[in-house]
Protein backbone atom coordinates (compact mmCIF):
# COMPACT_ATOMS: atom_id res chain seq x y z
CA UNK A 1 0.00 0.00 0.00
CA UNK A 2 1.23 3.49 -0.84
CA UNK A 3 1.15 5.58 2.34
CA UNK A 4 2.55 8.78 0.83
CA UNK A 5 -0.03 11.61 0.89
CA UNK A 6 -0.97 12.49 -2.66
CA UNK A 7 -0.19 15.89 -4.17
CA UNK A 8 -3.26 17.80 -5.33
CA UNK A 9 -2.90 19.50 -8.68
CA UNK A 10 -5.67 22.01 -9.06
CA UNK A 11 -6.26 23.55 -12.44
CA UNK A 12 -8.47 26.50 -13.16
CA UNK A 13 -9.21 25.42 -16.71
CA UNK A 14 -10.17 22.15 -18.38
CA UNK A 15 -7.60 22.88 -21.10
CA UNK A 16 -4.87 22.84 -18.45
CA UNK A 17 -6.02 19.58 -16.91
CA UNK A 18 -6.53 17.57 -20.11
CA UNK A 19 -2.87 16.81 -20.76
CA UNK A 20 -2.30 15.74 -17.16
CA UNK A 21 -5.25 13.32 -17.14
CA UNK A 22 -3.89 11.78 -20.35
CA UNK A 23 -0.54 11.11 -18.61
CA UNK A 24 -2.05 9.59 -15.42
CA UNK A 25 -1.03 6.05 -14.56
CA UNK A 26 -3.90 3.95 -13.10
CA UNK A 27 -6.44 6.79 -13.54
CA UNK A 28 -9.52 6.60 -11.37
CA UNK A 29 -12.34 9.15 -11.45
CA UNK A 30 -13.86 9.90 -8.03
CA UNK A 31 -16.80 12.24 -7.40
CA UNK A 32 -16.96 14.42 -4.32
CA UNK A 33 -18.87 17.63 -3.54
CA UNK A 34 -20.36 17.49 -7.03
CA UNK A 35 -16.89 17.59 -8.57
CA UNK A 36 -14.89 15.04 -10.58
CA UNK A 37 -11.41 14.29 -9.25
CA UNK A 38 -8.82 12.10 -10.97
CA UNK A 39 -6.59 9.95 -8.78
CA UNK A 40 -3.52 8.19 -10.12
CA UNK A 41 0.18 8.62 -10.42
CA UNK A 42 2.38 11.00 -12.41
CA UNK A 43 6.12 10.39 -12.67
CA UNK A 44 5.84 8.02 -9.70
CA UNK A 45 4.03 10.54 -7.47
CA UNK A 46 0.52 9.83 -6.21
CA UNK A 47 -1.63 12.76 -7.34
CA UNK A 48 -5.22 13.93 -7.31
CA UNK A 49 -6.18 16.19 -10.20
CA UNK A 50 -9.09 18.59 -9.78
CA UNK A 51 -10.68 21.62 -11.40
CA UNK A 52 -10.93 24.50 -8.94
CA UNK A 53 -14.05 25.94 -10.60
CA UNK A 54 -14.30 29.70 -10.83
CA UNK A 55 -14.44 32.19 -7.98
CA UNK A 56 -13.36 32.10 -4.35
CA UNK A 57 -16.20 30.09 -2.80
CA UNK A 58 -16.15 27.36 -5.46
CA UNK A 59 -12.36 27.08 -5.22
CA UNK A 60 -12.52 26.92 -1.41
CA UNK A 61 -15.05 24.07 -1.56
CA UNK A 62 -12.87 22.19 -4.05
CA UNK A 63 -9.83 22.62 -1.80
CA UNK A 64 -11.66 21.46 1.32
CA UNK A 65 -12.96 18.42 -0.60
CA UNK A 66 -9.40 17.56 -1.70
CA UNK A 67 -8.04 17.81 1.82
CA UNK A 68 -10.92 16.11 3.66
CA UNK A 69 -11.75 13.54 1.00
CA UNK A 70 -8.34 12.55 -0.35
CA UNK A 71 -5.92 13.46 2.45
CA UNK A 72 -3.69 15.40 0.08
CA UNK A 73 -0.40 16.53 1.62
CA UNK A 74 0.12 19.64 -0.53
CA UNK A 75 -1.78 21.65 -3.08
CA UNK A 76 -0.32 23.04 -6.31
CA UNK A 77 -2.44 25.36 -8.42
CA UNK A 78 -2.07 26.27 -12.10
CA UNK A 79 -4.15 28.87 -13.85
CA UNK A 80 -4.10 32.10 -15.78
CA UNK A 81 -4.25 35.67 -14.51
CA UNK A 82 -4.30 39.28 -15.56
CA UNK A 83 -0.94 41.01 -15.19
CA UNK A 84 -1.09 44.25 -13.20
CA UNK A 85 2.50 44.66 -11.97
CA UNK A 86 4.99 46.73 -13.92
CA UNK A 87 6.78 44.53 -16.46
CA UNK A 88 4.38 41.61 -16.01
CA UNK A 89 3.52 40.78 -19.61
CA UNK A 90 1.28 38.33 -21.45
CA UNK A 91 3.20 35.06 -21.64
CA UNK A 92 5.07 35.63 -18.37
CA UNK A 93 4.30 33.53 -15.30
CA UNK A 94 3.79 34.63 -11.70
CA UNK A 95 4.42 32.28 -8.79
CA UNK A 96 2.51 33.52 -5.74
CA UNK A 97 4.69 34.55 -2.82
CA UNK A 98 1.53 35.70 -1.03
CA UNK A 99 -2.20 35.97 -1.72
CA UNK A 100 -4.61 38.78 -0.84
CA UNK A 101 -8.36 39.16 -1.43
CA UNK A 102 -8.74 42.48 -3.24
CA UNK A 103 -12.52 42.48 -2.74
CA UNK A 104 -12.41 41.92 1.04
CA UNK A 105 -13.53 45.05 2.88
CA UNK A 106 -15.05 44.74 6.37
CA UNK A 107 -13.98 48.29 7.28
CA UNK A 108 -14.49 50.04 9.60
CA UNK A 109 -14.83 46.89 11.72
CA UNK A 110 -11.51 45.55 10.42
CA UNK A 111 -8.75 47.19 8.38
CA UNK A 112 -9.46 47.12 4.63
CA UNK A 113 -8.37 43.80 3.01
CA UNK A 114 -7.86 42.06 6.40
CA UNK A 115 -9.62 38.68 6.66
CA UNK A 116 -11.95 39.07 9.66
CA UNK A 117 -10.97 37.04 12.74
CA UNK A 118 -7.66 35.91 11.22
CA UNK A 119 -5.82 39.16 11.98
CA UNK A 120 -4.17 38.59 8.63
CA UNK A 121 -4.40 40.12 5.15
CA UNK A 122 -1.92 38.06 3.15
CA UNK A 123 -1.70 34.25 3.16
CA UNK A 124 1.78 33.13 2.14
CA UNK A 125 2.63 30.38 -0.31
CA UNK A 126 4.75 27.60 1.19
CA UNK A 127 8.36 28.76 0.85
CA UNK A 128 9.88 25.41 -0.15
CA UNK A 129 7.10 24.34 -2.54
CA UNK A 130 6.93 27.84 -4.11
CA UNK A 131 10.72 27.83 -4.56
CA UNK A 132 10.49 24.51 -6.41
CA UNK A 133 7.66 25.89 -8.51
CA UNK A 134 9.80 28.92 -9.48
CA UNK A 135 12.58 26.50 -10.53
CA UNK A 136 10.07 24.41 -12.49
CA UNK A 137 8.80 27.53 -14.28
CA UNK A 138 12.34 28.59 -15.14
CA UNK A 139 13.06 25.13 -16.56
CA UNK A 140 9.82 25.17 -18.57
CA UNK A 141 10.58 28.67 -19.89
CA UNK A 142 14.08 27.62 -20.91
CA UNK A 143 12.55 24.95 -23.15
CA UNK A 144 10.51 27.71 -24.78
CA UNK A 145 7.21 27.18 -26.46
CA UNK A 146 6.21 26.61 -30.04
CA UNK A 147 6.68 29.91 -31.80
CA UNK A 148 9.81 30.62 -29.78
CA UNK A 149 8.02 32.73 -27.20
CA UNK A 150 9.63 32.60 -23.79
CA UNK A 151 8.30 34.65 -20.91
CA UNK A 152 9.74 35.84 -17.63
CA UNK A 153 9.20 34.20 -14.25
CA UNK A 154 8.03 36.53 -11.45
CA UNK A 155 7.56 35.75 -7.77
CA UNK A 156 5.28 38.08 -5.82
CA UNK A 157 1.83 39.01 -4.58
CA UNK A 158 -1.30 37.70 -6.30
CA UNK A 159 -4.64 39.41 -5.68
CA UNK A 160 -7.87 37.40 -5.90
CA UNK A 161 -11.46 38.58 -6.10
CA UNK A 162 -14.82 37.53 -7.49
CA UNK A 163 -14.43 39.73 -10.53
CA UNK A 164 -12.92 39.33 -13.99
CA UNK A 165 -10.94 42.56 -14.24
CA UNK A 166 -11.45 43.89 -17.75
CA UNK A 167 -10.74 47.59 -17.74
CA UNK A 168 -7.71 49.82 -17.24
CA UNK A 169 -9.61 52.06 -14.81
CA UNK A 170 -10.94 49.07 -12.87
CA UNK A 171 -7.53 47.43 -12.56
CA UNK A 172 -5.89 50.77 -11.70
CA UNK A 173 -8.37 51.28 -8.85
CA UNK A 174 -7.71 47.77 -7.45
CA UNK A 175 -3.94 48.20 -7.61
CA UNK A 176 -4.01 51.71 -6.06
CA UNK A 177 -6.27 50.63 -3.18
CA UNK A 178 -3.95 47.72 -2.39
CA UNK A 179 -0.84 49.90 -2.71
CA UNK A 180 -2.37 52.44 -0.30
CA UNK A 181 -2.40 49.60 2.25
CA UNK A 182 1.17 48.54 1.49
CA UNK A 183 0.50 45.70 -0.98
CA UNK A 184 1.85 45.63 -4.54
CA UNK A 185 0.12 42.93 -6.61
CA UNK A 186 1.69 41.45 -9.75
CA UNK A 187 -1.44 39.69 -10.99
CA UNK A 188 -5.20 39.43 -10.48
CA UNK A 189 -7.27 36.27 -10.65
CA UNK A 190 -10.32 34.74 -8.97
CA UNK A 191 -9.29 31.83 -6.71
CA UNK A 192 -5.75 31.82 -5.31
CA UNK A 193 -6.28 33.64 -2.03
CA UNK A 194 -9.27 31.42 -1.19
CA UNK A 195 -7.27 28.23 -1.81
CA UNK A 196 -4.38 29.67 0.22
CA UNK A 197 -6.71 30.42 3.15
CA UNK A 198 -8.20 26.90 3.20
CA UNK A 199 -4.71 25.36 3.00
CA UNK A 200 -3.60 27.59 5.89
CA UNK A 201 -6.65 26.47 7.92
CA UNK A 202 -5.58 22.84 7.47
CA UNK A 203 -1.83 23.45 7.70
CA UNK A 204 -1.26 22.13 4.15
CA UNK A 205 1.58 23.57 2.00
CA UNK A 206 0.30 25.53 -0.97
CA UNK A 207 1.90 26.98 -4.09
CA UNK A 208 0.37 28.54 -7.18
CA UNK A 209 1.53 29.59 -10.61
CA UNK A 210 -0.43 31.84 -12.93
CA UNK A 211 0.39 32.32 -16.57
CA UNK A 212 -0.39 35.87 -17.66
CA UNK A 213 -3.15 35.75 -20.28
CA UNK A 214 -4.01 39.46 -20.40
CA UNK A 215 -3.24 42.81 -18.78
CA UNK A 216 -6.62 43.12 -16.99
CA UNK A 217 -7.38 46.05 -19.31
CA UNK A 218 -10.04 46.84 -21.90
CA UNK A 219 -9.01 43.97 -24.19
CA UNK A 220 -8.62 41.44 -21.36
CA UNK A 221 -11.54 39.23 -22.44
CA UNK A 222 -10.26 38.90 -26.04
CA UNK A 223 -6.66 38.22 -24.96
CA UNK A 224 -7.88 35.77 -22.30
CA UNK A 225 -9.97 33.62 -24.65
CA UNK A 226 -7.25 33.36 -27.28
CA UNK A 227 -4.53 32.66 -24.75
CA UNK A 228 -6.46 29.94 -22.95
CA UNK A 229 -6.94 28.01 -26.17
CA UNK A 230 -3.48 28.55 -27.64
CA UNK A 231 -0.99 28.66 -24.81
CA UNK A 232 -2.22 28.08 -21.24
CA UNK A 233 -2.50 24.30 -21.50
CA UNK A 234 1.04 23.94 -22.87
CA UNK A 235 2.47 26.07 -20.07
CA UNK A 236 0.60 24.24 -17.31
CA UNK A 237 1.66 20.85 -18.59
CA UNK A 238 5.34 21.72 -18.92
CA UNK A 239 5.50 23.44 -15.53
CA UNK A 240 3.80 20.59 -13.64
CA UNK A 241 5.99 17.99 -15.32
CA UNK A 242 9.11 19.97 -14.38
CA UNK A 243 7.83 20.34 -10.80
CA UNK A 244 7.23 16.61 -10.42
CA UNK A 245 10.88 15.97 -11.28
CA UNK A 246 11.90 18.25 -8.40
CA UNK A 247 9.49 16.85 -5.77
N1 LIG B 1 -7.87 35.49 -15.02
C2 LIG B 1 -7.24 35.78 -16.18
N3 LIG B 1 -7.34 37.09 -16.46
C4 LIG B 1 -8.05 37.65 -15.46
C5 LIG B 1 -8.50 38.94 -15.20
N6 LIG B 1 -8.25 39.95 -16.05
N7 LIG B 1 -9.23 39.15 -14.08
C8 LIG B 1 -9.51 38.13 -13.24
N9 LIG B 1 -9.12 36.88 -13.44
C10 LIG B 1 -8.39 36.64 -14.55
pLDDT digits (tens, 9 = 90+) for 59-115: 999 999 999 999 999 999 999 999 999 999 999 999 999 999 999 999 999 999 999
Domain region containing 53: 7-246
pLDDT-derived band of residue 216, with 50, 70 and 90 as boundaries? very high
Q: Is residue 14, in this structure, part of any structural domain at all?
A: yes
pLDDT digits (tens, 9 = 90+) for 29-39: 999 999 999 99
Question: Does any domain span residue 22?
Answer: yes
Query: In the predicted model, is pLDDT for residue 234 greater than 80?
Result: yes
Q: Is 68 a catalytic residue?
A: no
Residue 214 a catalytic site member: yes
Q: pTM score, two decimals?
A: 0.96
**How many structural domains are present in the chain?**
1
Q: Can you say whether residue 54 is alpha, beta or left, with left for phi > 0 and alpha for psi between -120 and 50 degrees?
A: beta
**Closest residue to atom 2 of ligand 1, CA basis:** 81
CA 227 to centroid of ligand 1, rounded, Å: 12
Q: Examine residue 228 and state whether it is found in any structural domain, yes or no.
A: yes
Structure confidence by residue, pLDDT tens digits, 132-190: 999 999 999 888 755 555 789 999 999 999 999 999 999 999 999 999 999 999 999 99
| pLDDT for the residue numbered 1 | 46
**DSSP-H helix ranges across 24-116:** 56-70
- Whether residue 1 lies inside any domain: the answer is no
Q: What is the CATH number of the domain that holds 128?
A: 3.40.50.1580
Q: Is residue 106 part of a domain?
A: yes
- Rounded (10°) CA dihedral 24, 242, 228, 29: 20
Rounded Cα distance between 220 and 174, Å, is 15
Give me the pLDDT at residue 244, please.
Answer: 97
**Is the pLDDT at 223 greater than 80, yes or no?**
no
Containing H/E element for 185? strand 185-189
- List ligand 1's pocket residues with C-beta within 6 A: 80-82, 164-166, 188-190, 213-214, 216, 220, 224
Q: Is residue 127 part of a domain?
A: yes
Residue 2 belongs to some domain of the structure: no
Amino acid sequence: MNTVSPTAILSALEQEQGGLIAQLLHPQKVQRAGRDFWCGSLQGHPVVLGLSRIGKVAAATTTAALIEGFGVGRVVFTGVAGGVGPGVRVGDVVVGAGFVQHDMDASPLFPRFEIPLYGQTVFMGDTVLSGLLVQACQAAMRQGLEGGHSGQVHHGLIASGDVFVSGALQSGAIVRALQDCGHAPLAVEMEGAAVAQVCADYGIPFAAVRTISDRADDTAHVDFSQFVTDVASVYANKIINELLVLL
